[in-house]
Amino acid sequence: MRLAFILSEIGSGLRRNLSMVISVILVTFISLTFVGAAGLLQLQINQMKGYWYDRVQVAVFLCVENSTSPSCAAGPVTEEQRDTIRGMLESEAFTPYVASVEYESQDEALGHFKDQFANSPIVDSVTADQLPESFRVNLVDPEKYEVINEAFSSLPGVDVVSDQRELLEKVFSVMNRASLGALLVAGVMTVCAILLIATTIRLSAFSRRRETGIMRLVGASKAVIQLPFILEGVIAAVVGALLASGALWGMSRFVIGGWLAREYPETAFISDQQVVLLVPALILLGALLAGVSSLLTLRRYVKV
């Protein structure tokens, strides 16, 4: 009997404040979508770090005609200098640091340049002799870049030693800032959701003040009186969380796993299963926010 009464009160409250309930659902949906998007972005960053950090290379660029490095003062790299550099990279002294070495000629560098800048107007104005040949070094431990840099940066014939991790760090830094921005927006929207839930509960309690007064007179407990109001907010927030979860799953399925995965097949993207792991957290967060804000509102403004 008590359960039936509580359910009927919840249904009555949802019908009476339908427009406010829809508003709570929408604001919760938007705020938790931003929370989930920030979580997805962080998962993607971690996934890409784990994928790319194992594949980053140190590029030892050799001197060309227009090189300005002091070690290139004698002009383009000679055959003897090239063999010396290759011999050092493949020597036993660097075996603990170097996993593999690949040589890239100027013609190969031009081919890679044309692939990378295929849609750029400058692609036809670049020739092979303008691009440096290089040794692409895969390290056993990517953190040991400085060992290669110190040993080769001042060698005759070496223009510059470049660590691809520096470029990746810049990319990940931008992505981290985007994740932080999504969290800030999510925080603002969450505050809006809390205020809207509190307002909805206050209006619902005010419209049923006569019923709650009668319930107090007949000896109903505080929990029985408050529970329908709390559950109204929780139900609305959970619906919003489910909508947010569906939106994030659709984004992962069709945008990340569909379009982006086809456009960038060499990039490791997060899977649908990882997105599903966020769903319980979003639902719990929505229910917790609604429950706490509803309870505090009832204690402060509604005397039961």
Summarised one tens digit per residue, pLDDT across range 235-277 is: 888 999 999 999 999 988 888 877 887 777 766 678 778 788 8
What is the per-residue pLDDT across 127-159, written as a single tens digit (0 to 9) for each?
888 889 999 998 888 778 888 889 998 899 999
- Rounded to whole angstroms, the Cα distance separating 248 from 9 reads 33
Contacts with 1 (C-beta within 8 Å, 6 or more apart), sequence order? none
In 208-277, alpha helices (H): 209-217, 222-250, 261-263, 272-276
Average pLDDT over residues 159-187: 79
**pLDDT tens digit string along 83-126?**
999 999 999 999 999 989 999 999 998 888 887 666 566 777 88
Distance of CA 64 to the CA centre of its chain: 40
Nearest Cα neighbor of 274 from 289, 252, 292 is 252
Location of structure tokens 């957290």: 281
> Cβ distance 247 to 281 under 8 Å?
no
Beta bridge partners of 100: 138
Amino acid at 222: K
User: Which helix or strand (DSSP H or E) is residue 47 part of?
Assistant: helix 18-52
Average pLDDT along the chain: 81
Chain centroid to Cα 175, Å, comes to: 7
Domains of the chain: 2-52+169-301 (no CATH), 57-164 (3.30.70.3040)
Burial of 300 (C-beta count, 10 Å sphere; 0-12/13-18/19+): exposed
Scanning the structure block, which residue is given the tokens 């809390």?
194
Q: What is the pLDDT of residues 4-47, one digit of tens each?
A: 655 666 666 567 667 778 888 888 898 888 888 888 888 887 77
> How many helices (H) and strands (E) in the chain?
11, 4
Instruction: Kindly report whether the global pTM for this prediction surpasses the value 0.75.
Output: no
Go through 263-292 and write b for each residue having 16 or more CB atoms within 10 A of its CB, e for each that does not.
eeeeeebbeeebbeebbeebbebbbebbbe
Average of per-residue pLDDT across 52-65? 80
Question: Among residues of the chain, what percentage have pLDDT more than 70?
Answer: 80
Q: What angle do CA 6, 11, 15 make, to 5 degrees?
A: 145
